[in-house]
Every structure is written in C-alpha cells, then in structure tokens.
C-alpha cells in the first residue's frame, strides 16, 4: 500500500504492476494480472473495497498479453482503454492466449480458459479527461511501445500509471520510428514538469 487508498500488487511474473485505487465504496483497477492466483487475490481485494459491481472500473494501458488477462475476473466492470485496443486484441487473440499459457504454466499455474478478445466500455485517443466514479483521470496517448498505449494521470492522487514506459527494468521495444516513442516521453516529461506527480507506477519494475 502506498496510501490508505492506493495499492500496488506486483506479479512474480516479470514484476508486472497492477494498481487498485479505492474510495467511498468505489474501486479503480489498472492492468490486473498476471497469474490466475494473483488476479483472484486482486479481485477479492476489490470485492471487499467495492462490493457493488457497478462501482468497479478497470483500465487497460495497452493490449499486450500480460496486461489484458484480468477481464474475466471483473466481468461486470466498466472498462477503459485506447481506441485501437479492441482491434489489436482481436488481431492478436491467439498469440495472447499462447503467451499467457506459456508464461503461466512456467510459474506452476494453469491457464483456466482460452483468451477472448473484448471491447472496452469507453475508448480514448489523444489526451482525454475521464471520470470513473469519484476518480478524475487524464488519459494520455503514448505510442512507441505499442500503437494503442495510454498513460493515466490521476490529479487528486498525484498518481501516474505509465504503462510500459518509464520502467527501471524494461527498455520498451519500438513498433514504429524512434521519434514516436520520443514524442511520448516528451509528453510524460511535461506532466512531471507541470503537474503534481507523487507516485509513478510503470508496467514493470519499481
């Protein structure tokens, strides 16, 4: 726990970070993963913090296999992702399922069901302000690691959930020209220069 409302669960699979923010019976979850036992633990925590399913929202920073597996543990939640998220999931569903099975089984657990592509309840592009329950989020489009990645800045909490950028253990691979990733880093740098960021949670690492 970083505060009484903000909790980070780090997977033993590549140190991937999932975030839970809870307030007044509402919960906001970022990238729940990776192993089934870990997703069940996160879902149980969220259920205790926000017993009513309509008060739970899940945000997916990008459509890579390790960040999208938690949907089935929150089947009734409102979901948020990039506008290109659903198309990439549909295209890569077979690969996502194969990668999930390989990594989960390597950690001694079983993958309970085939991965099913899904579309988020709300999709964003560019820079967009979103309210989910009591939480105010500014979503920033940050391509480079992949085309449909977003970073989420929660102003009141001073929290930046950065997706697979700004990690101390992962150098993001580029799916386009380096200038695209550089532009995303510039946008994130502007947030640190202009806004109150007290907590940085990258997709992997510290």
What's this model's pTM, rounded to 2 decimal places? 0.96
The pLDDT value recorded for residue 35 is 97
The pLDDT value recorded for residue 17 is 98
Rounded Cα–Cα distance for residues 175 and 148 (Å): 11
The pLDDT value recorded for residue 74 is 96
Question: Cα 20–26–32 angle (5° rounding)?
Answer: 30
Grouping H, G, I as helix, E, B as strand and the rest as coil, residue 151 is: strand
pLDDT in tens, 10-69: 999 999 999 999 999 999 999 999 999 999 999 999 999 999 999 999 999 999 999 999
Prior bond to 34 cis, omega within 30? yes
Residues 74-102: b if buried by 16+ CB within 10 A, e if exposed? beebbbbbbbbbbebbeebbeebbebbee
The pLDDT value recorded for residue 1 is 82
| Closest listed residue to residue 78, CA positions, set 115, 132, 30 | 132
Rounded Cα–Cα distance for residues 59 and 126 (Å): 16
Please say if the pLDDT value at position 2 is more than 90. Answer: no
pLDDT in tens, 179-199: 999 999 999 999 999 999 999
Torsion of CA 145, 158, 44, 118, to 10 degrees: -40
Place of tokens 């964003």: 124
Task: Give the CA distances from residue 151 to residues 12, 105, 154, 161, 202, in Å, rounded to whole numbers and listed in that order.
Answer: 23, 30, 10, 6, 9
Q: Indicate the pairing of strand 150-154 with strand 135-141.
A: antiparallel
How much of the chain exceeds pLDDT 90, in percent? Answer: 92
Place of tokens 């996502």: 96
The pLDDT value recorded for residue 84 is 98
Rounded Cα–Cα distance for residues 178 and 149 (Å): 15
Name every residue whose Cβ is closer than 8 Å to that of residue 30 and which is 6 or more positions away in sequence: 18, 19, 20, 21, 58, 59, 60, 61, 152, 161, 201
Q: How many CB atoms lie within 10 A of CB 130?
A: 15
């Amino acid at each position: 726990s970083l505060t009484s409302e903000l909790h980070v669960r780090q997977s033993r699979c590549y140190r991937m970070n999932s975030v839970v923010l809870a307030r007044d019976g509402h919960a906001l979850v970022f990238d729940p993963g990776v192993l089934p036992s870990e997703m069940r633990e996160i879902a149980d925590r969220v259920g205790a913090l926000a017993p009513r399913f309509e008060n739970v929202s899940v945000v997916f920073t990008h459509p890579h296999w390790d960040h999208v597996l938690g949907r089935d543990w929150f089947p009734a939640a409102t979901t948020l992702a990039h506008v290109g998220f659903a198309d990439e999931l549909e295209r890569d569903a077979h690969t996502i399922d194969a990668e999930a099975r390989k990594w989960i089984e390597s950690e001694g657990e079983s993958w309970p069901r085939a991965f099913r592509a899904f579309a988020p309840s709300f999709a964003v592009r560019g820079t967009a302000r979103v309210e989910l329950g009591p939480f105010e989020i500014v979503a920033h489009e940050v391509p480079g690691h992949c085309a449909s990645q977003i970073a989420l800045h929660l102003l009141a909490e001073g929290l930046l959930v950065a997706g697979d950028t700004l990690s101390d253990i992962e150098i993001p691979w580029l799916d386009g020209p380096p200038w695209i990733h550089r532009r995303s880093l510039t946008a994130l740098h502007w947030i640190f220069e202009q806004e109150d960021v007290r907590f940085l949670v990258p997709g992997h690492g510290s």
